[in-house]
Structure 1
């Protein structure tokens, strides 16, 4: 994993040397730093080194470190929430969209520690605000799916919240205690069983 990360960083540096870096490139690099070391890892010089550029490139796009953090959090909201919802929007069946959403989101979070790192820095007001927006959007979307399946509004909201709680617990446990969750086909069956419970009608 360390070697793969080094290859990615080397490739990023080569690409940065061939083209002008954008604010989005800096935001993505900041997100990678947060995933590896939390909010404290967002520092201009190390990120510039990661990108194979200088601090001058940073100040071309951002006034200060706080502006970079804000851009990174906005990028996280777009890439890990709005883009995921859009990705699955073509599925007409709300149950299969819900199952696909749960499977995709848990798999993505298992590969990337970013979300767990952000949850660990929720005391920061900027991170707390981003987490609130993302939570409201995700729970609201999942609630809409349960409502589309015929659950009354209050019940749809309750199940949407339970689904999101299950997702957060799943990713936290997967990163905190590797190997505690089933893998392979057993993992898929486990996720299906969670959704089966949430979809059960009394």
Structure 2
């Protein structure tokens, strides 16, 4: 089948190559994101790659852009989502931690690991971190927290989750969901209502 596809001149698409690069990145790290590795995985020729990307660096830039759109932009959007109370607002943020379509923890870990040997990417991450924390602080300020307190709570929320990711901590769905009320209380100082917790759990049945 692969031979037949190649004989017809199919070169894939930029998205297909990016998807393959993403899989290799989260499985094996950036050093294995190579044109030859991806071509073999896709059953395409190496030259097919260059129909879509100028070089490997362009592909890597595409992965970084995907991470920004997937994790930074969506976290900011969740921080700005409608909420009647700060408990609802923090539970909107918790959606990110349990829904990979909102925040991809595997990609986050891979990008941060990559940055250990890439000063340019390290600076990009620092900017993303600042953007995310600022969005969380703005969320707290919407609910009348003083600026200094909002900033501290934002750092606490964010750095706790990045710590989970960096340590590759895994938890069963049930026990983690059972902790969400206490986490919300810890991060906001307000105890969510039964209805707020029920709505959150209904979004994440497991």
- Select 2:141's aligned residue among 125, 143, 147: 147
For residues 79-90 of structure 1, the aligned pairs below 5 Å read 79-86=70-77, 89-90=80-81
Query: Which residue of the partner structure matches residue 174 of structure 2?
Result: 185
* 8 Å contact from structure 2 (residues 140, 150) kept in 1: yes
Cα distance in 1 for partners of 2:181, 2:157 equals: 12
Q: Which structure 2 segments of 5+ residues have no match?
A: 191-206
Query: Which residue of the partner structure matches residue 168 of structure 1?
Result: 162
Query: Which residue of the partner structure matches residue 11 of structure 1?
Result: none
Query: Which residue of the partner structure matches residue 52 of structure 2?
Result: 61
CA distance 1:21–1:141, change in 2 (3 Å): farther
Higher helix share: 1
CA distance 1:159–1:82, change in 2 (3 Å): same
Deviations 1:13-67 (A, max 9, x none): x9xx997633233223222211011111210111122233222221112222111
Deviations 1:54-109 (A, max 9, x none): 22221112222111111110111102221354467553336323212223334429
For residues 88-167 of structure 1, the aligned pairs below 5 Å read 89-93=80-84, 95=86, 96-108=88-100, 113-123=106-116, 124-167=118-161
Q: Calculate the TM-score normalised by the size of structure 2.
A: 0.74
CA distance 1:29–1:92, change in 2 (3 Å): same
Query: Which residue of the partner structure matches residue 28 of structure 1?
Result: 19
* 8 Å contact from structure 2 (residues 96, 103) kept in 1: no
Aligned Cα root-mean-square deviation (Å): 2.9
Cα distance in 2 for partners of 1:160, 1:112 equals: 19
For residues 34-53 of structure 1, the aligned pairs below 5 Å read 34-53=25-44
Aligned length: 181
Cα distance in 1 for partners of 2:127, 2:85 equals: 23
DSSP-derived class of the 2:82 partner: coil
Once the two structures are TM-superposed, the CA of residue 189 in structure 1 deviates from its matched residue by: 2.4
CA distance 1:89–1:142, change in 2 (3 Å): closer
Q: Which structure 1 segments of 5+ residues have no match?
A: 1-13
* 8 Å contact from structure 2 (residues 39, 46) kept in 1: yes
Q: Calculate the TM-score normalised by the size of structure 1.
A: 0.75
DSSP-derived class of the 2:44 partner: coil
